[in-house]
C-alpha cells in the first residue's frame, strides 16, 4: 500500500511540476516578448503623415483633433501605418496617411496607398447584389442552386437572403488558419470545393453565425446572374462608375508599388508586441468575401454613393441595410452584407452602418457611416488585430463636436 501511495505521490509531483514549468515558460515568453518589442513610434507627435490637400477651414479644427487621435493610437497600439478618410455629405473633407507602408524601406503611408480591406469587401459585394436585384436578374428568396448549381442541396433549403444575412448555417473558414489562403481560384465557384459538401450547422433562418464562405457563394451567384466574370462586373458596374480608381482584386502575391506591406502581430494577436511581415497569401478563392484592395478615400466614395442614391435606389439601400430578425424576435445587428449598430456620439446614441475588414482573422479596416450626422469614416491599417472600429468612432466624434450636428 505504501509503495502504491508513493508511486501516486511521485506522479502527482511530476504532473504539478510539469504544469508549473509550462506556466513559467509561457510567462517567461510573455515577459521576453514584452521587453524586446521595439516601439515603432516612440513619440506620437513624430509620427509622419502625408496629405494631398489641407482640409477646408470649416473642417480644419476637426481634422487637427482627428490627427492627434490617430497619432496617439499609432504610438500606443504600435501599428506600422494607417490611412484615414472622412466624408461629409458628398465631399471628402479629410484624407491623410500616417506611419509607414513599409517599415524596412521607411516608405510613408499616403492617401493613395492601397490596403487589403479583407471582409470589408462584403459591403462592396452587397452593392453588386443590389444592382442585380434592381435589374431583376435575381431575387433574394431564390434558392442558391438556381444560380449556383455547383452548391449541393442540403438537409434544408437555403436562399440568397439567408446567405447574405449569415443565417444560412454555413460553416466557418477557420480564421488565419483557413486552408484557402494558400490556393488560387480563377472563378468564385472554384472556392466552393472547400465547403460546399459540408452539412449546414443549423436550419437556415433560425440563428445568426458569421461565415466568410457565404459571400464566396454570393460572388458565384453574382457571376452567374450577371453573365460575366465577377471581378469584371465589380469593376464595370461598381468601381469605375464611382471613381474608385484604387480598388481592385488582391489576387497577386507581388506587392504593387502603391500597396502597403501587410503585417501580423508576432505574439498574442496584439500589435503592441511588434509586427512580423504577413506570410504570402492568395485571396482569390475568397472573391467578394475578402479579396479587394482599396484606399479609405475610395471606400468613402463608395459609401457616399450608397447614401446619396448614386448607385442604388433608397429602397434597395434600406433593404440591404436593415437588421435581420430571427424567429425569436431578436435582431441580428446585421443586414444583407452590412453591420447595423448603435454607438454613442457626442453623448447621444447614433446609428452606425458599415463593415469592418478582417485580414487573416483580425480587424484591420473599418468603413462606417453615421447617417444622422451625414458623415462617413474609413480607416485602414496594415496590421491585423488593429481596432480600427474604435478609432473610426473617435474620429467621427471629433467631427460631430466641431459643428456638424445630427440631421433632423
Which residue spans within 167-322 are E strands per DSSP?
Answer: 248-249, 263-265, 275-277, 292-294
Other C-beta atoms lying within 10 Å of the C-beta of residue 82: 32
> Does position 1 have pLDDT exceeding 60, yes or no?
no
H or E element: which one contains 92?
A: strand 91-102
* All structural domains of the chain with their residue ranges: 118-341
Which residues in 28-46 are b (16+ Cβ under 10 Å) and which e?
Answer: eeeeebeeebeebbeeeee
Give the whole-angstrom CA distance, residue 128 versus residue 142. Answer: 16
Phi, psi of 35 (to 5 degrees): -75, -30
State CA 296 to chain mean position distance: 12
**Local confidence band at 27 (pLDDT 50, 70, 90 cut-offs):** very low
Q: Is-contact 173 196, C-beta < 8 A?
A: no
φ, ψ dihedrals at 91, nearest 5° = -110, 150
User: pLDDT digits over 286-306, tens only?
Assistant: 999 999 999 999 999 999 999
Mean pLDDT, residues 316-333 taken together: 96
Give the HSE-up count for residue 79: Cα atoms under 13 Å, Cβ half-sphere: 31
Classify strands 275-277 and 263-265 as parallel, antiparallel or unpaired. Answer: antiparallel
- Using left for φ > 0, alpha for ψ between -120 and 50, and beta otherwise, residue 124 falls in alpha
- Say how far residue 200 (Cα) sits from the centre of its chain: 24
Q: State the pLDDT confidence band at 4, using cuts at 50, 70 and 90.
A: low
DSSP string, 339-375: EEEEEEETTEEEEEEEEEEEETTEEEEEEEEETTTTE
84 vs 70: CA distance, rounded Å = 9
Average pLDDT over residues 274-286: 93
pLDDT attached to residue 253: 55
Tens of pLDDT along 182-210?
889 999 999 999 999 999 999 999 999 99
pLDDT over 70 percentage in the chain: 87
pTM of the model: 0.90
Torsions phi, psi for 323 (to 5 deg): -60, 135
Tally Cβ neighbours within 10 Å of residue 209.
15
CA distance 237 to 128: 8
> Could you give the CA distance from residue 143 to residue 159 in angstroms, rounded to a whole number?
4
pLDDT at 32: 43
CATH number (3.40.710.10, 2.40.110.10, 3.90.260.10, 3.30.230.10) of 118-341 reads 3.40.710.10
86 SS3 class: strand
Buried/exposed code over 154-177 (b: 16+ C-beta within 10 A; e: otherwise)? beeebbbbbbbbbbbbbeebeebe
Predicted local confidence at residue 14, as pLDDT: 59
Q: Which residues pair with 102 in a beta bridge?
A: 107
Per the CB < 8 A criterion, the answer to whether 346 and 402 are in contact is: no
Amino acid at each position: 500500500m505504501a509503495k502504491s501511495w508513493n508511486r501516486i505521490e511521485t506522479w502527482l509531483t511530476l504532473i504539478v511540476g510539469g504544469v508549473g514549468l509550462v506556466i513559467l515558460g509561457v510567462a517567461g515568453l510573455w515577459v521576453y516578448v514584452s521587453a524586446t518589442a521595439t516601439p515603432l513610434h516612440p513619440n506620437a507627435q513624430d509620427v509622419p503623415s502625408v496629405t494631398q490637400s489641407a482640409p477646408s477651414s470649416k473642417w480644419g479644427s476637426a481634422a487637427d483633433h482627428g490627427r492627434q487621435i490617430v497619432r496617439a493610437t499609432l504610438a500606443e497600439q504600435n501599428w506600422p501605418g494607417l490611412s484615414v478618410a472622412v466624408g461629409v455629405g458628398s465631399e471628402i473633407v479629410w484624407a491623410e496617411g500616417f506611419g509607414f507602408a513599409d517599415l524596412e524601406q521607411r516608405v510613408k503611408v499616403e492617401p493613395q496607398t492601397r490596403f487589403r480591406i479583407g471582409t470589408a469587401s462584403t459591403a462592396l459585394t452587397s452593392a453588386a447584389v443590389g444592382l442585380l436585384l434592381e435589374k431583376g436578374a435575381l431575387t433574394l428568396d431564390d434558392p442558391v442552386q438556381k444560380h449556383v448549381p455547383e452548391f449541393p442541396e442540403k438537409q434544408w433549403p437555403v436562399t440568397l437572403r439567408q446567405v447574405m444575412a449569415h443565417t444560412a448555417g454555413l460553416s466557418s473558414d477557420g480564421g488565419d488558419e483557413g486552408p484557402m489562403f494558400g490556393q488560387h481560384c480563377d472563378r468564385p465557384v472554384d472556392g466552393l470545393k472547400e465547403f460546399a459538401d459540408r452539412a449546414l450547422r443549423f436550419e437556415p433562418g433560425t440563428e445568426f453565425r458569421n461565415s466568410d464562405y457565404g459571400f464566396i457563394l454570393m460572388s458565384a451567384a453574382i457571376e452567374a446572374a450577371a453573365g460575366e466574370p465577377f471581378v469584371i462586373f465589380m469593376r464595370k458596374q461598381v468601381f469605375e462608375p464611382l471613381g474608385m480608381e484604387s480598388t481592385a482584386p488582391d489576387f497577386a502575391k507581388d506587392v504593387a508599388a502603391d500597396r502597403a506591406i501587410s503585417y501580423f502581430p508576432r505574439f498574442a494577436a496584439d500589435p503592441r508586441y511588434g509586427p512580423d511581415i504577413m506570410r504570402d497569401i492568395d485571396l482569390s478563392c475568397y472573391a467578394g468575401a475578402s479579396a479587394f484592395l482599396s484606399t479609405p478615400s475610395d471606400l468613402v466614395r463608395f459609401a457616399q454613393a450608397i447614401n446619396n442614391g448614386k448607385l442604388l435606389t433608397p429602397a434597395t439601400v434600406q433593404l440591404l441595410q436593415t437588421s435581420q430578425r430571427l424567429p425569436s424576435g431578436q435582431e441580428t445587428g446585421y443586414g444583407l452584407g452590412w453591420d447595423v449598430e448603435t454607438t454613442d456620439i457626442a453623448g447621444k446614441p447614433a446609428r452606425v452602418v458599415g463593415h469592418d475588414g478582417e485580414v487573416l482573422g483580425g480587424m484591420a479596416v473599418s468603413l462606417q457611416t453615421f447617417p444622422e450626422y451625414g458623415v462617413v469614416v474609413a480607416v485602414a491599417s496594415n496590421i491585423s488585430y488593429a481596432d480600427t472600429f474604435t478609432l473610426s468612432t473617435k474620429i467621427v466624434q471629433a467631427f460631430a463636436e466641431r459643428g456638424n450636428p445630427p440631421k433632423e
